Amino acid sequence: MASPYLSHEYLRLEKEYDAVTRCNRCGFCETVCPTYMVSGKETLSPRGRNQAFRDILEGKNPDPKAAGDIFSTCLTCHACTNACFSQVPVARLMSSAREVSGPKAPARWIEKAVFRLFLPRRRLFSVLVWPAFLAARLCRWLGFLDGVLPDVPLLFGPECPPRTGPPSRTATAVFSGCGIHYLFPGAARAFLRVMEKVDGGLVCSKPACCGLIPQSAGDPEGAKNLARKVIADFERTGAGTLVVDDDSCAGFMKGYGELLDGEPGAAAFAAKVRDLSQVLRERGLPEEFARGAFGGESATYHDPCQMGQGRKETRSPREVLRDLSGLKFVELEESDWCCGGAGTYCLKHPGLSQDILERKLENIGKTGAGFVVTQAASCLMQIGAGIRRKGWEGTVRALHLAELLEISRRGGVRSGRGRP
């Protein structure tokens, strides 16, 4: 039975209302929330956002659009939920909050059209992305958003290798996230090279958005539709494991069981998802990738939020880095502190994003590491931009784990002085 306090307008969000009312306003979340810690504003804390969403659901706020900035500034990094005794799922709640407070028509219709029409079809999505990348290169050339936009490529990531044999439940399927495919094609190629050595019988799960983009933008139904497509495409490969090159995608896909709320096959699929470091720990790092002569160069690791805070899976990348010959691993203080990238957050809220990144860069500087390793495109973009802004390009590099393994295969180089 629905709560008598829940507005009839939002009866479809009864589950979200039950979750948001679990918040007892204790304030423990504020000690770990990046946006609150850099702003000091109650409205930019998880507690403040929960209250704002509750006011909307109870009909106390007649203009939900006015609360849009409160919800859009959430990083959905999951840190607050981990600190919460009641385990209020703030990241999930913010998706619904953004849905009810999002842009008005026709802007909302256009946004949903992109999510429903283009994101499931990567080749069609590329038609939109390529002109945007040309514009981004022009902006950087003119000096606009320099230090925020990456050096976007004009060629995207490689296509997956063709299937060489019949489907097998022991086969491994690979999945390339949108960010790695479009923004870091070198990392996509390195990922495939490593995976081809791990399993010579790779198959390709049909590329599509995993659903994280619409989920973060306030279109939870669009996210669910994409999740169902990803599961169906994977099942058609006949493979037993899905290895994903982006930890933001992998962490989100590991949560399909909760996202799809018990739909058949969702939890079973989620249990088959791995990132690169996890599959390397399970099957072993091929010798040719472990032999690099790094000469005592050091590396540190940044945990992407979806995998670190969201899934609490942080061990395997560190173990892989420790296995590399001649490379010294240095732990990063607050390695799970969000870098402020969070997809397009750095473009929507550049001030907050840079303030959050500054703390990450300060901790990176303390390590003295020549390599900052991670496995998520938005983190690579954000940390890389910070390194450029600091003028550290000659001594520090932000790399995908697969790129570092490719450097190791080629014999090792020193930090920013070499290229894979």
Q: What is the CATH number of the domain that holds 305?
A: 3.40.50
Answer whether residue 45 is part of any domain: yes
Answer whether residue 353 is part of any domain: yes
Number of domains forming the structure of the chain: 3
Separation of alpha carbons 23 and 188, rounded Å = 41
Claim to verify: residue 151 and residue 138 sit in the same structural domain: yes
> What pLDDT, on a 0 to 100 scale, did the predictor assign at position 9?
86
Can you read off the two tokens belonging to residue 208?
A: 């599509």
- The separation between CA 20 and the C-alpha centre of its own chain, rounded to angstroms, equals 24
Domain boundary residue, one of 101, 131, 146: 101
**382-397 in b/e burial notation, b at 16+ Cβ within 10 A?**
bbbbbbbeeebeeebb
Answer whether residue 112 is part of any domain: no
Beta-bridge partner residues of 275:
244
Claim to verify: residue 215 and residue 313 sit in the same structural domain: no
Can you read off the two tokens belonging to residue 90?
A: 């703030």
Query: How buried is residue 63: exposed, middle or buried, by Cβ count under 10 Å (0-12/13-18/19+)?
Result: exposed
Q: What is the pLDDT of residues 135-180, one digit of tens each?
A: 666 665 555 555 555 555 555 556 665 555 555 566 899 999 988 9
Can you read off the two tokens belonging to residue 345?
A: 């957050």
204 pLDDT above the threshold of 90: no
Q: What is the pLDDT of residues 247-302, one digit of tens each?
A: 999 999 999 999 999 899 999 999 999 999 999 999 999 999 988 778 889 999 99
Query: Which helix (H) or strand (E) covers residue 47, if one does?
Result: helix 46-57
Output the pTM of the full model.
0.90
> What pLDDT, on a 0 to 100 scale, did the predictor assign at position 345?
92
Answer whether residue 109 is part of any domain: no
Q: What is the pLDDT of residues 177-195, one digit of tens each?
A: 988 988 898 999 999 999 9
Claim to verify: residue 156 and residue 252 sit in the same structural domain: yes
> What average pLDDT does the structure give for the chain?
87
Please give the share of the chain, as a percent, with pLDDT higher than 70: 83
Claim to verify: residue 143 and residue 213 sit in the same structural domain: yes
Claim to verify: residue 94 and residue 167 sit in the same structural domain: no
| Residue 337, number of CB atoms within 10 A of its CB | 23
Claim to verify: residue 220 and residue 245 sit in the same structural domain: yes
Separation of alpha carbons 340 and 358, rounded Å = 9
| Band of residue 410 on the pLDDT scale cut at 50, 70, 90 | confident
Claim to verify: residue 188 and residue 294 sit in the same structural domain: no
Beta-bridge partner residues of 103:
none
| Residue 293, number of CB atoms within 10 A of its CB | 14
Beta-bridge partner residues of 400:
374
> What pLDDT, on a 0 to 100 scale, did the predictor assign at position 4?
73
> What pLDDT, on a 0 to 100 scale, did the predictor assign at position 143?
59
- The separation between CA 304 and the C-alpha centre of its own chain, rounded to angstroms, equals 6
Q: Which domain holds residue 403?
A: 286-417
End-to-end CA distance of the chain: 60
Separation of alpha carbons 337 and 119, rounded Å = 29
Beta strand pairing call for 203-204 and 298-301: unpaired
